[in-house]
Amino acid sequence: MPIVVDNVSYTYAPGTAFETAALSGVSVTVEDGEFVGIMGRTGCGKSTLLQLMAGLLRPSSGRIMLDGKDINARGYRRDELREKVGLLFQFPECQLFESTVERDVAFGLKHLPLPAEEKAARVRWALEAVGFSFESIRHQSPLGLSGGEKRRVAIAGVLAVKPKILLLDEPAASLDPVGRREFMELMQRLHREGTTIVMISHDADILGEYAQRILVLDRGKLRLAAPVKEIFKDIAGMEALNLDVSRPRKIAHLLQKRGVPLPQDITGYGELLVAIRNLKKGCLIS
């Protein structure tokens, strides 16, 4: 079920004094089961691209293809899109509106042709997957929760549909370190089970640890699309785009400059620790 973005452009408020070109001629394919990160400065078109993939916006030109079908073509079943693709907005806690947490998480299942027992089981699974005790949280008002708890409830609402593709806009922002780690471990598990994940993040450490490939947007254009190791290897190139690489990559780079022969394709902390241990054992090959 690949997502194909085919020469897509998008302009906000066309024909008015507020006309703004958000994307211009973007083409990229996200394959089944990939974990793709999206980086770029604020205003470069990252969120617009995600909303186009989710079918919330219609391209000014070009096509968005899902499983070989144009999602904006006449006759395309939008309910099919909603079953396959889940989108988590940048501030998902603002999406909460139901009287209880249980009802809020179940809202996305309302029109799916599933037995009531299956819907209830999905709601329980989703809430427990994001770290809640189902019985303790189910009857609480989502509006009375803390900011981090609201975000987790919103994430559960997306997960309950069990989409094959997850589109995430800065999902770990505002989470504490423990919450961030738990959330990314959940994403990693879903990815291992076959879920395609496309995630916007300014946190290069997260993308360096979990993403397989990175798309870099700049002023509405796709500047880079390559494996994370290739993208982060070019520190100078990323700096020229006013973007950062992961701290493990920078540590490996600085140590190499001081004569420590560490591999220069390190992007995550796990890889860095393994490389340092191997170096101490005298078995590292530069």
Task: For residues 209-238, give the mean pLDDT.
Answer: 95
Q: Which of 42-56, 86-100, 191-205 has the lowest mean pLDDT?
A: 86-100
The superfamily (CATH) of domain 33-55+77-227 is: P-loop containing nucleotide triphosphate hydrolases (3.40.50.300)
Angle at 42 between CA 8 and CA 38, to 5 degrees: 55
Can you tell me the mean pLDDT for 204-232? 96
Answer yes or no: is pLDDT of 72 > 90: yes
Q: What is the pTM of this model?
A: 0.89
Residue 111: how many CA atoms within 13 Å on its side-chain side? 6
Per-residue confidence (pLDDT) for residue 286, from 0 to 100: 45
pLDDT for residue 100 is more than 60: yes
DSSP string of 2-46, one letter each residue:
-EEEEEEEEEESTTSTT-EEEEEEEEEEE-TT-EEEEE--TTSSH
Q: Which residue has the higher pLDDT, 238 or 82?
A: 238
Q: What is the pLDDT of residue 149?
A: 83
Which residues have C-beta within 8 Å of that of residue 118, sequence separation ≥ 6?
A: none
Domain edges within the chain: 33-55+77-227
- What are the pLDDT digits (tens) for 104-137? 999 988 878 889 999 999 999 999 988 899 999 9
- DSSP string computed for the chain: --EEEEEEEEEESTTSTT-EEEEEEEEEEE-TT-EEEEE--TTSSHHHHHHHHTTSS--SEEEEEETTEETTSTT--HHHHHHHEEEE-SSGGGG--SSSHHHHHHGGGTTS---HHHHHHHHHHHHHHTT--HHHHTTS-GGGS-HHHHHHHHHHHHHTT--SEEEEESTTTT--HHHHHHHHHHHHHHHHTT-EEEEE-S-HHHHHHH-SEEEEEETTEEEEEEEHHHHHH-HHHHHHTT----HHHHHHHHHHHTT----TT--SHHHHHHHHHHHHHT----
Query: What's the chain's average pLDDT?
Result: 90
pLDDT > 70 in the chain, percent = 98
Q: What is the pLDDT of residues 15-42, one digit of tens each?
A: 898 889 999 999 999 999 999 999 999 9
* pLDDT band per the 50, 70, 90 thresholds, residue 283: low
For position 176, what pLDDT does the model report?
77
**Could you give the percent of the chain with pLDDT greater than 90?**
63
